[in-house]
Chain A
Amino acid sequence: MRRIVLGPFNRVEGDLEITLDVDAGQVMAARVNSPLFRGFEQILAGRAAQDALVVVPRICGICSVAQSAAAAAALGDLCAVEMPENGRLARHLVQAAENLADHLTYFYLFFMPDFARADYVDRNWHAAVAARFAAVTGSAAPAVLVARANLLKLFGFLAGKWPHTLALQPGGSTRAIGSAEVVRILALLRGFRAFLEAELLGDALESFAALASEAELRAWGAGRGSDFPSFLQAAYDLSLENVGRAADGFLSYGAYAMFPSGVWRVDGAVDTLETGKISEDTRHAWLVDGPPRPPADGETYVDADKAEAYTWCKAPRYGGQILETGALARLVVAGQPLARDLVARHGASVTARVVARMIELASVVPVMERWARAIVPGEAFCHAAALPDSGQGVGLVEAARGSLGHWLSVDRGRIERYQIVAPTTWNFSPRDAAGRPGPLEQALVGLPAGAGAPPTIQHVVRSFDPCMVCTVH
């Protein structure tokens, strides 16, 4: 048995290190280390409650609006304010825009460049994939950056800027747009649709979103020259549908009144989400030890010399279960047929996680077009919200990478406690007190490792689209 330390992992958001126990060229055990500590829960304590809206987006420059939305929801819960319909639509639009921009950046800039590696030079797809997706120099990058920048111009109209906006307030959105902006937003969405249809999918969004099984997906992809079918060709050649399985329990808090919340159990049933079942375990984190605590009662105190610790990340569990979160989890919980079929056949996998992001791109853009048209210029976007001096609030949203929760309590107008459970905290969780490894730690076991091994580990790690800066908030 040999111990290998992998890191830094490029093209993930933030810093990541993985320790592998390897025997005969195979991973026997994996330990995932988030080597950066940020301390945002302490930064928030003692501030005025509404300051959370300024502080939390700065946890993460890639999930910035998801963090804002979670804080706005938690403060909204605290003061029980209702958003006007326009505010709700504006919030859906900016959250979806960030999530879809993330999926796009992820696919082209973070995930696909690994298939351009020289390890695959003998594969018949390699030359074309390397020319298209090589990091920084690939032919896809310029058009991708333009498509991404243009989609994020929704923020110029709806939220001032991206990342780090203050437009999302408990009572709605600070920017009341008129019909001129609606026209511009629809034009931007049509531009994004055109990119996806011409470059990414090579088909109408609605046609791709209607694929209902793995067999239909493979038949659809065969011979299609666009970017996502190129991935499918490589992925099936490398059998990535059988790689990267974790615990196959899935968590979704539900998004944009389009995807429902729920927990998919390993046995295939969807349970109603009960947030009371969420707890965080600190046994293997450099944090003061104690029994698992629900986030509403959570603590984050550093203990940098703890013997059993190997990461700054806590271990979230749901009624003790290990859950995976992200686009695949959202779709499986929602009953999306293709996602369900992929999971039924192979469990979660590199391929299924990537396909799920494409399904979201194809299915959410048309809904964004409907939200933009549903805005009624002249009607309110924001209700005034008077925050009570004391109380508690919970804000649950879906970031691109999965379920993001904020739990806050306020006393005499000041934040007394603020706890954040981020998507990658679930996915890149360390072992819990019972020694049970987190989703990525499970997904890596059995993979080839060491000298001469193919870059399979790289694909599995990035299939989760990790965001380490959120993880170690």
Chain B
Amino acid sequence: MKVLWLQSGGCGGCTQSLLCAEPRPLFDELRDAGIEFVWHPALSPESGAEALQLLGDCADGTMPFDVLCVEGAMLHGPEGTGRFHLMAGSGRPLTEWVERLARRARWVFAIGSCTAFGGFSAATPGNPLEACGLQYDGDEPGGLLGEAFVAAGGLPVVNIAGCPAHPGWVVDTLQKLALDGLTEGDLDDCGRPLLYAEQLVHHGCSRNEYYEFKASARQHSDLGCLMENLGCKGTQAHADCNVRTWNGGGSCLRGGFACIACTESGFEAPGHPFQETPKIAGIPIGLPTDMPKAWFIALSVLSKSATPKRVRDNAVADHPVVRPAVRKPSK
């Protein structure tokens, strides 16, 4: 399976993240699954004229390839010219290259939230970059390729959203495709692979005991739940960060800071400071999406009143100050 990769209005972080794939080295993992890069801007040998020739051959159909992976938002500005990103050496807007190549690809993957939805590039007030995603403009279908776009393989754009995307999300989606294809049943309502997006960041969170008892952190480096005060959206964000984990066992929550829901469209403009939980009458407004608010509040009151001292004290410390009791065997 041949993969062609392009980068545009983004930070390159999804590629940097991808190189952390484990346990096997990325190149070995892909090669043995029958996946190869036709060209990748950060990895391939070809530069300059050689690279342009190769891309031209892919765009006019003389060099067949299977998957177009795009990393970074599509920049239409200024004033629709695409000059905020002309592909070096070609003088043509990158958006034009992507449109040509998407017509030849059997599958099109948006790598990262910029590419899926527009991300930070689209977050400037008034969007002067005229940035959008491949098939979404924020949470509205459309984007560069349009709502009706379907690649030759039968699917719209596959949105491997995340900022950055976890290496496993990309590698596993490519391998699933190479193994037995992808269908609409493998994707959620906004095109994200269910292999990572059918979970919530909340699942497997190491702070779940604090969440159960609503024992909240008050400041950074506290051990408690980050939802009530520090802006955490782990109960709303679709991703398996706390099950799969990052960099050998980490996640945002395990790192001591809030989930900012970076796999969701519009995460970059939440309407409140990222690290503060917006509240109305002391109650966080961003409650779990599938739980009636009254129940949540009732449960919160009950669980707060039942919080063990260990959980209450540790929630506001940066290391456990009360250990779980050791039960002596009964005689």
Residues of A within 8 A of B (CB): 5-11, 13-17, 33, 35-40, 42-43, 46-48, 50-51, 53-55, 58-62, 64, 105, 109-110, 113, 116-117, 134-137, 141-146, 148-150, 152-167, 169, 171-176, 178, 302, 304, 377-378, 380-382, 384, 458, 469
Contacts and interface: CB of A to CB of B under 8 A. Distances in A.
A176 B319 contact: yes
Contacts of A160: 246, 250-257
Nearest to A173: B221
B85 to A, nearest CB: 4
A169 B221 CA distance: 10
Contacts of A157: 248-250
Contacts of A469: 10-12
B37 interface: yes
Interface string B122-150: 01110011000000000000000000000
B46 interface: yes
Nearest to B55: A8
Contact of A166 (B85, B257, B318): B257
Contacts of A381: 221, 318
B306 interface: no
Nearest to A67: B11
B42 interface: yes
Given A8-B88, A169-B220, A174-B257, 10 more contacts: A9-B48, A14-B7, A15-B88, A39-B124, A43-B124, A54-B275, A62-B13, A153-B249, A163-B17, A384-B219
Interface residues of B, number: 77
A142 B27 contact: yes
- Residue of B14, B120, B255 contacting most chain A CB atoms (<10 Å): B255
- Residue of A7, A109, A178, A382 contacting most chain B CB atoms (<10 Å): A7
B21 interface: yes
B297 interface: no
B220 A161 contact: no
A58 B120 contact: yes
Contacts of A53: 274-275
Nearest to A154: B247
Given A166-B257, A178-B319, A381-B318, A6 B83 contact: no
Contacts, number: 265
A293 B252 CA distance: 38
A146 B25 contact: yes
A75 B256 CA distance: 19
Contacts of B251: 160-161
A8 B221 contact: no
B298 interface: no
Contacts of A304: 78, 81, 83
18 contacts: A7-B87, A11-B41, A11-B42, A15-B87, A33-B88, A38-B9, A58-B120, A61-B15, A64-B11, A116-B45, A156-B246, A158-B255, A161-B251, A165-B255, A173-B256, A174-B220, A174-B257, A381-B318
Interface string B33-66: 0000100011111111001100000000000000
A332 B51 CA distance: 37
B20 interface: yes
- Residue of B15, B28, B52, B248 contacting most chain A CB atoms (<10 Å): B248
Interface in B105-124: 119-121, 123-124
Q: Which A-B residue pairs are the 4 nearest by beta carbons?
A: A160-B255, A61-B13, A7-B88, A174-B256
Contact of A149 (B10, B19, B255): B19
Contacts of B11: 58-62, 64, 163, 469
B48 A8 contact: yes
Contacts of A152: 20, 247
A134 B20 CA distance: 20
A5 B48 CA distance: 9
Given A160-B250, A469-B11, A166 B43 contact: no
B247 A148 contact: no
B16 interface: yes
Contacts of B276: 48
A161 B244 CA distance: 12
Contact of A61 (B12, B129, B319): B12
Nearest to B258: A166
B243 interface: no
A309 to B, nearest CB: 11
Given A7-B48, A39-B121, A146-B25, A109 B85 contact: no
A366 B273 CA distance: 39
B89 A5 contact: yes
B196 interface: no
Given A10-B51, A149-B22, A171-B220, A35 B255 contact: no
B8 interface: yes
Nearest to B320: A178
B318 A380 contact: yes
A258 B28 CA distance: 37
A404 to B, nearest CB: 14
A378 B46 CA distance: 52
A449 to B, nearest CB: 11
Given A5-B89, A175-B256, A13 B220 contact: no
Nearest to A109: B43
- Residue of B25, B43, B250, B253 contacting most chain A CB atoms (<10 Å): B250
Given A10-B51, A39-B121, A166 B275 contact: yes
B43 to A, nearest CB: 6
B151 interface: no
Contacts of A58: 11, 13, 119-120, 163
B9 A8 contact: no
Interface string B253-281: 11111101010000000000111100000
B44 A135 contact: yes
B84 interface: yes
B302 interface: no
B273 A35 contact: no
- Residue of B88, B252, B275 contacting most chain A CB atoms (<10 Å): B88
B247 A54 contact: no
A35 B128 CA distance: 17
B219 to A, nearest CB: 5
A156 B302 CA distance: 34
